[in-house]
Amino acid sequence: MKELQDISRLSDRFISVELVDESLYDWNVKLHQVDKDSVLWQDMKETNTEFILLNLTFPDNFPFSPPFMRVLSPRLENGYVLDGGAICMELLTPRGWSSAYTVEAVMRQFAASLVKGQGRICRKAGKSKKSFSRKEAEATFKSLVKTHEKYGWVTPPVSDG
């Protein structure tokens, strides 16, 4: 509840939140801003995309465990967004999560990762209309966590932000 109140007080309209079926454990989050110098921002302008819609599902023991976060729309390519809208970010895993993280901080990190990973709005005929599914996102996320646990995560240089 505190997280929801903190987001409603953000002055920069970076994100906005709607509860899914009035549940405090299931949020749809609209990411309204990414780096205005990025190709993704340009894509958003060219396609009249006002926001990137994500879904966050919080476990009962939040903030001690991370939320499951996935992209709903638009369909994105690259930017660490994988099949089903799964997001490849260490901080969304149990090992990478800290109870000190706020939803706002996670969303700001996600926005930076999208740009850093050269995320683009998919415009390929047929593929751009296919929606992401939760089942596919969960399977993809589970697989990527297993891969990174085996091979490690690459930590970008400090100079990369």
Catalytically annotated residues: 88
Give the Cα separation of 51 and 136 in Å (integer).
Answer: 22
Residue 57 contacts residue 67 (beta carbons within 8 Å): yes
Residue 97 contacts residue 66 (beta carbons within 8 Å): yes
Burial class (CB in 10 A: 0-12, 13-18, 19+), 83: middle
Q: Which residues contact 152 (CB under 8 A, 6 or more apart)?
A: none
Q: CB neighbours (10 Å) of residue 52?
A: 27
Residue 62 contacts residue 2 (beta carbons within 8 Å): no
Residue 34 contacts residue 121 (beta carbons within 8 Å): no
